[in-house]
């Protein structure tokens, strides 16, 4: 974390860099099948920022429409997924925490879509768990 409210990050190869210029609205783990498949991981840790707070400072992301309402933003060179946002009228951007320069600077606060959790994977924490979108339903 730089300056207390600025979060910098980027892709594996360095061709795509971003800055989030405000603190996140929240952070969590998503266990939905779309996040599992797009990340290749059993869960994806993310932080939601105001859409206006996230700016790409190097490169332009490639975009994949992963559903009828959402898109994934990733590096076209190395394939690293950076963010998720609604395809139309986005008010937030969900940045993948592992792409932050300091991924330990933000901590997930809850788990969503646990109905899709892979049975052999569990995170040993006491965070709230929601079978569906949980607190995120209000922003959908």
User: pLDDT averaged over the chain?
Assistant: 92
Q: Mean of the pLDDT values across residues 26-46?
A: 95
Q: Are 77 and 15 in contact (CB under 8 A)?
A: yes
Q: What is the pLDDT of residue 1?
A: 32
pTM of the model: 0.89
Q: What is the pLDDT of residue 136?
A: 77
Q: Which of 50, 26, 54 is CA-nearest to residue 133?
A: 26
Q: Mean of the pLDDT values across residues 7-35?
A: 96
Q: What is the pLDDT of residue 76?
A: 97
Residue 118 vs residues 10, 30, 34, 112, 113: alpha-carbon distances, Å: 28, 12, 13, 13, 11
What kind of fold does domain 7-139 have according to CATH? glutathione-dependent formaldehyde- activating enzyme (gfa) (3.90.1590)
- Per-residue pLDDT tens digits for 52-73: 999 999 999 999 998 888 999 9
pLDDT higher than threshold 90 for residue 137: no
The structure tokens listed for 31 are 């266990």
Task: Give the pairing type, strands 92-96 and 44-50.
Answer: antiparallel
CA separation for the pair 92, 6 (Å, rounded): 16
94/138: higher pLDDT: 94
């Amino acid at each position: 974390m730089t300056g207390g409210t600025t979060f910098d990050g980027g892709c594996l190869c360095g061709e795509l860099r971003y800055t989030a210029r405000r603190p996140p609205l929240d952070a969590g783990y998503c266990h939905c099948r779309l996040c599992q498949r797009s990340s290749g991981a059993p869960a994806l840790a993310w932080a939601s920022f105001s859409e206006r707070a996230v700016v790409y400072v190097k490169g332009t992301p490639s975009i994949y429409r992963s559903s009828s309402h959402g898109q994934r933003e990733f590096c076209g060179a190395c394939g690293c997924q950076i963010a998720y946002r609604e395809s139309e009228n986005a008010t937030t951007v969900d940045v993948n925490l592992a792409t932050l320069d300091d991924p330990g600077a933000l901590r997930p606060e809850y788990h969503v879509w646990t109905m899709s959790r892979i049975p052999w994977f569990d995170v040993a924490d006491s965070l709230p768990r929601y079978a569906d979108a949980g607190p995120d339903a209000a922003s959908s």
